[in-house]
Amino acid sequence: MMKLRTLLKTATIASSLALSSFAFSADIDMSADKNDLAIQGYDPIAYFTDSNPTKGNAQYSATYKNAIYHFVSAENRDTFRSDPTKYAPQYGGYCAMGVSLNKKLDTDPTAWRIVDNKLYLNLNKDVQKRWLEDVSGNIVIAEKVWPTIKLVSADVVNAE
């Protein structure tokens, strides 16, 4: 009886630890690295205020959907915190062109564009050139696709 009780306690603790590790990982609809860092540490506010991708500093960080964002200043961090949906990249930071093609692809933070006051990122500058050929059309398609793939893991979506 004692062994069974010990076994149950151990199993409960192990499963609790396993589940808690998921609680701290970025949401499935967010593109983040293995450390949950979004947009490779670039400051999302800087795209809007400086018209330039700028690496943030871990000293100024905030989380959104369990992904960690870095900022160049406390002011940028606080601006982001006031309205993260306004400043976070569209499609959870996945490639805008990729989403229009039913994929969840990583991005190059230097391949970016602000359209209608929203930040869009692309896989790389070559993919961005293709995306820029029909920005509004690609956004219309991506807006239809995103709800169907946002809660599916990137591995599963990209395997199809």
The two three-digit tokens of residue 12, written as one number: 């409960």
Question: Over pLDDT 90: what percentage of the chain?
Answer: 84
Residue 85 · residue 119 · CB < 8 Å: no
Confidence check: pLDDT of 86 > 90 = yes
Which residue in 143, 95, 145, 138 sits closest to 120, CA to CA?
95
Report the pLDDT value the prediction gives residue 137, as an integer from 0 to 100: 98
Indicate the residue type of 96. A
pTM of the full structure: 0.84
In this prediction, residues 57-77 reach a mean pLDDT of 98
Integer-rounded Cα Rg, in Å, for the chain is: 19
Q: In 3-state terms, what secondary structure has residue 79?
A: helix
Q: For residue 38, which phi and psi values (nearest 5 degrees)?
A: -90, 150
Report the pLDDT value the prediction gives residue 160, as an integer from 0 to 100: 82
